[in-house]
Structure 1
Amino acid sequence: MILTRPLIIAATLFVSALAAALPAHASSEASPAIEVWKSPTCGCCQKWADYLTENGFTVSTKNTTQGMLNRIKAQAGIGPKLASCHTAQIDGYTIEGHVPAGDIKRLLEERPDAIGLAVPDMPLGSPGMEQPDGKTDPYEVLLVKKDGSTEVFAQH
């Protein structure tokens, strides 16, 4: 088949228009965007945000009051038993506390029908809570279901 110059140009324009019309496919190189609400004076919250950046996330931090943070948690379905010092949102999920980056990435890959993940309190050795002496406490990452119940998502 012999292609004429006008046909080649038309085909090229068609392929370019088709590529522009298709939704961008999330690649492994894309940085997931996460918004973190925290107290402006909480150092461990900022350490966790920095840790996420180091692990490939695009982090936006929002300093807020404790009252507003409590409202954000409540609106997201995070009760007092699950609470920690900061709350984040990523791709429709809520991330409460010092959740490891790998667990967040797994959540985004598996896409369970849930509110998100929580690490209640502030366990020693969790991301952002590293200790100079290397001390760590075992802790669980909980999957928070839409009915408010939880199940263990990961253990560290």
Structure 2
Amino acid sequence: MLRALTLITLLLAGGVTVQAEEALKATLYKNPQCGCCEGYADYLRQNGFEVEVKPTNDLTQISRKAGVPENFQGCHTMFIDGYVVDGHVPVDTVRKLLSERPDIAGVTLPGMPLGSPGMGGEKTAPFEIFAVTKDGKTPALYATE
């Protein structure tokens, strides 16, 4: 009882620092030969995410099983906190997804747009990130960055 009272007193007095935000844990599946996917994982790590990278030759099947239609797939598929994030989705959109918690399967940035996180080149147009539905309907625009 004394320990509990001491802890409560320290917390109320601000004597104990509690880490407000833990690193978000993600699992990223990628083709074994793809280097830009490693670049995307590094980008996420630099932004406070803990990323486990798993090379696979079944990426299309993994994306499809997660609900991402083939013509909306990116070059890697990540799972984070109950959502799928397909392709080079900017971290601001990933954070938006995780904070808003919409009733969708996840988000996708189709293809490999130049200038997107982890990709080389210069960004030539806004990135259109789509919401992946749970019911198999065509993805709708979720965010533009």
Which range, TM-score by smaller chain? 0.7 to 0.9
Select the structure of larger CA radius of gyration: 1
Alpha-carbon separation, structure 1, partners of 2:81 and 2:61: 20
> Structure 2: how far apart are the matches of 1:64 and 1:94?
16
- Assess, with a 3 A threshold, how the Cα gap between structure 1 residues 74 and 15 changes in structure 2: closer, same or farther: farther
Matches within 5 A, 1:6-155: 10-13=1-4, 27=20, 29-65=21-57, 68-131=58-121, 134-149=122-137, 150-155=139-144
Residue in structure 1 matched with residue 10 of structure 2 by the alignment: none
Post-superposition offset of 1:139:
2.2
CA contact (8 A) 1:117 1:142 kept: yes
Alpha-carbon separation, structure 2, partners of 1:37 and 1:90? 12
In the TM superposition, what whole-angstrom CA distance separates every residue of 1:73-116 from its partner, at most 9, and x where no partner exists?
12111111111110000011000001001100110000001100
The size of the alignment, in residue pairs, is: 134
User: What TM-score does the superposition give when structure 2 sets the normalisation length?
Assistant: 0.84
Query: Which is helix-richer, 1 or 2?
Result: 1
Q: Distance in 2 between matches of 1:145 and 1:135?
A: 27
| TM-score for both structures, normalised by structure 1 | 0.78
- In the other structure, the counterpart of 1:7 is none
1:26 shift after superposition: 8.4
Gaps spanning 5+ residues in structure 2: where? 8-17
Q: Which 4+ runs in 1 deviate beyond 4 A?
A: 13-16
1: CA distance between counterparts of 2:89 and 2:128?
Answer: 9
Letter in 2 for 1:148: G
Counterpart AA for 1:38: K
Which whole-Å CA distance do the structure 2 matches of 1:38 and 1:51 have between them? 15
Q: State the 1:129 CA deviation.
A: 1.5
Output the aligned Cα RMSD.
1.9
